[in-house]
Structure 1
Amino acid sequence: MAETGWQKSSFSSGDPNTNCVEVDGGGHGVRLRESEEPSTVLAASADALHALLTHLKAGDARTH
């Protein structure tokens, strides 16, 4: 999968040495990685990521 460019989280302090979540929305889905471990990438469809974030924002910590 070709990289289109990683974008740091808006919650990052702006310090280039700060580890944070990065996102790449190119291609057919969304990819996430931790800047400290850039070779480990989580890929999901936009719909699946939206469902996860909605679930987390609701504060529902139940496992299914």
Structure 2
Amino acid sequence: MDSQLSRLENRLAELLEACETLKRENAHLRDENSVLVSERGQLLSNRDKVRRQVEAMISRLKAMEAS
């Protein structure tokens, strides 16, 4: 009986430690995801800005060709 209780206590301690480890890992991954989402937003914004600039340059080049 005591050995079963001891094994159960050990298993419970292992599970609690695993739970804490997973909580820390999850928090880290959430932080990392937040950073990546922010970076993605900045990259999309920069891409749109560059696209508009390139389109404007193409329009100016076409206008110069037409002249």
TM > 0.5 between the two? no
Structure 1 or 2, whichever has the larger Rg, is 2
Q: Which has the higher helix share?
A: 2
TM interval, short-chain normalised: under 0.3
Which of structures 1 and 2 has the larger relative contact order (alpha carbons within 8 angstroms, sep 6+)?
1
Give TM-score, length-normalised by structure 1: 0.25
Give TM-score, length-normalised by structure 2: 0.24
